[in-house]
Amino acid sequence: MEALLQQLRSRLTEVYDLRAASAVLQWDQTTYMPPGGAAARARQLATLARLSHERLLDPEIGRLLEALQPYEKDLPYDSDEAGLLRATRRVYERALRVPPAFVAELSAHYTLSYDVWTRARPAGDFPMVQPYLERTLDYSRRLAGFFPGYEHIADPLIDYADPDMKVSVIRPLFAQLQAELSPLVQAIRGRPQVDDRALFRSFPRIRQLDFAREVVRQIGYDFERGRQDLTPHPFTTAFSLGDVRITARAVENDLGQALFGSIHEAGHAIYEQGINRSFEGTPLGTGTSAGVHESQSRLWENIVGRSRPFWSFFYPRLQAIFPQQLSSVPLEAFYRAINTVRPSLIRTDADEVTYNLHVTLRFDLELEMLEGRLAVGDLAEAWRARYQADLGILPPDDRDGVLQDAHWFDGNIGGAFQGYTLGNILSGQFFQSALEAHPEIPSEMEQGRFGTLLGWLRERIYQHGSKFTAAELVERITGGPISIEPYVRYLREKYGEIYGI
């Protein structure tokens, strides 16, 4: 068995080496590549996508999986070997259904579509990307079509990001959450509003980025195995478990962008840096789902990074860096400012309470497009209508409306957004479990110590990579299924106190 496993691992490593090469090219495309590189880059990425797909579909991998099947039932479910076989089978069987030529065509289309989006967004020019988005919808529907027998056409697409999640599970969960959060948003609107103008003074970008780097280093991001670069739409990418990179955007008159964006991406990266190094080059060597990934970025960004204990440590340091801007702003006023609840246009800047409204409306629009009830040509208008209805605000243009997210312009329509809200829900469950195990976590944060929390997360979540599904992790950690209750309680307590409800 060990010899067969070894053969399987070395074949998988070739596949994941090719994927890592694609990741380097994609990272370069969104950080340093000049516009003139776009067309060739699309072709290069398509070639790599096709090659890695063909490598994965090598009949030898199928033969090895078959030869290993008799051993699998004797392996403990939580062993690395059983995990590797489960994860490989999932990836292999999914890949088998999609022709390599289609994979290459899809990849080339997304690279070009992303490139057009980078010009259409600043111009607020939706018609410029509309033909690309129409093709994306067509590709997304065709991709789903390779997986017949689904309940909902979005299910196979969601499965790529959040394995085992389905529209029939997500819809009621999101409806439940919305029913809990809408009264909270209303109650906050009825209270005196928080003054957050202190965050929008002039903060030189270089010093913002220096401080953000200091913060992410302190919470546990390892710069020996990563680096940070600038990009218009921040993301995290891993070329190996020893090279997990983050990106940031800094805005002179908005202190939150670089700071909370960096903590967010560092949360994703700390997860990947914590994966068992022996999983590298296999399907186990990455976070298990979009939802669990987002649970970590959001946990570090919000539950930790917007908490009182965190800032009672970091605020004097921030004041020392920006004395002119912040010396007259007390800690309590700063804490309230960074937790202002106010319906806003941009998802990534949204506060914790209204954030999920941005996600559920995108999720609904995705489903409507896939179901054929909403044409791409009507999307911008539908977007405005939903912002008016759900958040009570009307985007002044498409730049800060339908064009604001890179998703849909760099990947499928379907599966792009549910992970954000699933992640918020899971962050509440995981943090509650961490606190139950270690009630000293908040007082450690007041001293700038994050090791107990990080150690618990590594032990319970990070090291496992993709060995367990999201549902299995939640079950192992909380003893039950995914539940909105800890997250809703966290929001009610925190914002009830800030707004005096």
- Which residues form the catalytic set? 265
Query: How far apart are CB 457 and Zn ion at their closest, in Å?
Result: 16
By CB under 5 A, residue 262 contacts Zn ion: no
Nearest Cα residue to 281 out of 99, 59, 91, 18:
18
Report, in Å, the least distance between residue 330 CB and Zn ion. 31
Q: Which is nearer to Zn ion, 103 or 248 (CB)?
A: 248
Both tokens of residue 426? 């899971």
Q: Is 302 in the site for Zn ion (CB under 5 A)?
A: no
Q: Where are the alpha helices (DSSP H) in 301-386?
A: 308-321, 323-326, 331-338, 355-370, 379-386
Q: Is residue 427 at the binding interface for Zn ion, with CB under 5 A as the rule?
A: no
Q: How far apart are CA 399 and CA 380, in angstroms?
A: 10
Residues 6 or more apart whose CB falls under 8 angstroms from that of 271 comprise 287, 292, 293, 296, 457, 461, 462
Question: Least separation, in Å, of the C-beta of 215 and Zn ion?
Answer: 17
Nearer to Zn ion, 267 or 486 (CB): 267
Bridge pairing between strands 236-240 and 243-248: antiparallel
**Alpha-carbon span 169 to 421, nearest angstrom:** 13
Give Cα 199 distance to the centre of its chain: 25
For the CB of residue 27, give the shortest distance to Zn ion in the complex, in Å.
16
Apex CA 121: angle with CA 375 and CA 41, to 5°? 95
Q: How far apart are CA 310 and CA 449, in angstroms?
A: 9
The residue among 184 and 461 lying less far from Zn ion, judged by its C-beta, is: 461
- Is 111 one of the binding residues for Zn ion (CB under 5 A)? no
Separation between Cα atoms, residue 9 and residue 6, nearest integer Å: 5
Residue 237, interface with Zn ion (CB under 5 A)?
Answer: no
Closer Cβ to Zn ion, 297 or 424, answer by number? 297
Applying CB under 5 A, which of residues 297, 404, 429, 469 lies at the interface with Zn ion? 297
Nearer to Zn ion, 282 or 295 (CB): 295
**At its nearest, how many Å lie between Zn ion and the CB of residue 408?**
16
Stretch that binds Zn ion, among 22-30, 273-281, 290-298, 374-382 (CB under 5 A): 290-298
Q: How many residues bind Zn ion (CB under 5 A)?
A: 1
DSSP 328: T
| 311, 230 Cβ separation under 8 angstroms | no
Tokens 């033969």 appear where?
A: 63
Cβ pair 396, 439 in contact under 8 A: no
CA atoms in the 13 A half-sphere facing the CB of 236: 28
Give the CB-nearest residue to Zn ion: 297
* Total count of residues recorded for the chain: 501
Name the minimum Å distance from CB 274 to Zn ion.
Answer: 16
Q: Is 289 in the site for Zn ion (CB under 5 A)?
A: no
Nearer to Zn ion, 88 or 297 (CB): 297
**Residue 282 near Zn ion by CB under 5 A:** no
Nearer to Zn ion, 266 or 474 (CB): 266
Alpha-carbon distances of 143 from 162, 264, 370, 444, rounded to whole Å: 16, 31, 11, 48
Give least dist CB 288 to Zn ion, A. 15
- Residue 141 CA to residue 414 CA, distance in Å, equals 9
Other Cβ atoms closer than 10 A to 414:
30
Please state, in angstroms and rounded to a whole number, the distance separating the CA atoms of residues 224 and 141. 42
Give the binding range for Zn ion (CB under 5 A) out of 139-147, 289-297, 343-351, 361-369. 289-297
Give the relative orientation of helices 379-386 and 355-370 as an angle to the nearest 10 degrees.
150
The nearest distance, CB 448 to Zn ion, in angstroms, is 24
Q: Stretches 154-162, 291-299, 335-343, 397-405: which one binds Zn ion (CB under 5 A)? A: 291-299
Cα torsion 151, 181, 358, 270 to 10°: value is: -90
DSSP 221-275: --GGG--EEE-SS--EEEEETTEEEEEE--BTTBHHHHHHHHHHHHHHHHHHHTS
- Specify the residue, 83 or 261, whose C-beta has the smaller distance to Zn ion: 261
- Residue 409 to residue 113: CA distance in whole angstroms: 6
Provide, rounded to whole angstroms, the least separation between the CB of residue 268 and Zn ion: 6
The contact set with Zn ion (CB under 5 A) reads 297
